[in-house]
C-alpha cells in the first residue's frame, strides 16, 4: 500500500499540487487524468521517488520512503517512462535479462525461454523479437518490451506514463488487453493516460483527476 499524506509537490515556489491525501493498493487500477502540464507525470515520478515532495509524507506499507533503500523501492515500485529506456545495441532478450545481472536480482532465477516467449505472445509479439536489437523496435514494441521487463521483476506497483501514446493499433490493443487483466492480478497499476484504456469491469478502476492544483477522485 502506498500512502500520500498532505503531500505537495512542484518544480518552483508555486507547487503543481497541494495537500494530497491518497491511498493506493495492490489489485487496484488507478487512472490519473487532467490537462497537459497539470502534474500527472510529476505525480508518477513522485510515487517512484524520482522527485521529492515539498511537503508531506509518502509511505510504502507504513514505512516512510526515506527509510527505504533505493534498490528496494525501485524493485517494489517500477516506473515506466512514456519513452522506455533500454540498451539499444543489444538484443531484446539481453535487455529483459539485464536486471537479473545486478543488485538484489542477482540471486533470483532468471526467467526461462518459454516464459519469455509466452509473455511475448501475451503482448502480440513474435518470439523472434527476442533476438532483435532493441534499436530496431518501433515505439509500440519498445513499450510492450518495457512492460514485460517490469513484469518479470514482480513489482508491487507499476506506474505507467501515457502507455498508449503514439502507438499503432496492434500495440495499443495488446497493452489494453494486458491492463484489463490486471484487476485480477496481485499488482497495483497507476497510469496517466489521455487515451481510453479500454473496457474495464465496473468497480475495477479508480479515476483520479488533477485540476486546479488538487487531486480528486471521480466517478467515470
At 95-154, the pLDDT tens digits run: 999 988 877 777 788 899 899 999 999 999 999 999 999 999 998 899 999 999 999 988
pLDDT for 127:
94
Cell of 95: 535487455
29 vs 181: CA distance, rounded Å: 10
What per-residue confidence (pLDDT) applies to 202?
60
pLDDT for residue 220: 63
Which residues of the chain are modeled with pLDDT < 50?
Answer: none
Best CA proximity match to 25, nearest among 192, 189, 220: 189
Domain ranges of the chain: 2-218
Which one is the CATH code of 2-218: 3.40.50.2300, 2.60.40.10, 3.10.20.30, 3.40.50.300? 3.40.50.300
The reported pLDDT for the residue numbered 203 is 64
Amino acid at each position: 500500500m502506498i500512502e500520500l499524506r498532505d503531500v505537495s509537490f512542484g518544480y518552483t515556489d508555486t507547487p503543481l499540487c497541494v495537500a494530497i491525501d491518497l491511498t493506493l493498493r495492490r489489485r487496484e487500477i488507478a487512472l490519473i487524468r487532467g490537462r497537459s502540464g497539470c502534474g500527472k507525470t510529476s505525480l508518477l515520478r513522485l510515487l517512484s521517488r524520482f522527485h521529492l515532495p515539498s511537503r508531506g509524507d509518502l509511505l510504502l506499507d507504513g514505512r516512510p520512503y526515506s527509510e527505504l533503500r533505493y534498490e528496494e523501492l525501485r524493485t517494489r515500485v517500477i516506473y515506466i517512462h512514456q519513452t522506455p529506456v533500454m540498451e539499444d545495441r543489444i538484443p531484446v532478450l539481453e535487455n529483459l535479462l539485464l536486471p537479473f545481472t545486478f543488485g538484489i536480482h542477482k540471486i533470483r532465477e532468471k526467467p526461462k525461454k518459454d516464459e519469455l516467449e509466452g509473455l511475448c505472445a501475451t503482448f502480440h509479439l513474435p518470439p523472434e523479437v527476442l533476438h532483435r536489437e532493441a534499436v530496431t523496435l518501433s515505439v509500440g514494441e519498445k513499450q510492450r518490451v518495457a512492460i514485460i521487463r517490469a513484469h518479470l521483476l514482480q513489482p508491487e506497483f507499476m506506474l505507467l506514463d501515457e502507455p498508449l501514446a503514439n502507438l499503432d493499433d496492434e500495440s495499443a490493443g495488446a497493452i489494453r488487453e494486458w491492463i484489463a487483466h490486471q484487476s485480477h492480478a496481485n499488482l497495483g497499476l497507476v497510469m496517466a493516460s489521455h487515451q481510453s484504456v479500454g473496457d474495464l469491469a465496473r468497480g475495477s478502476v479508480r479515476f483520479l483527476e488533477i485540476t486546479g492544483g488538487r487531486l480528486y477522485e471521480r466517478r467515470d
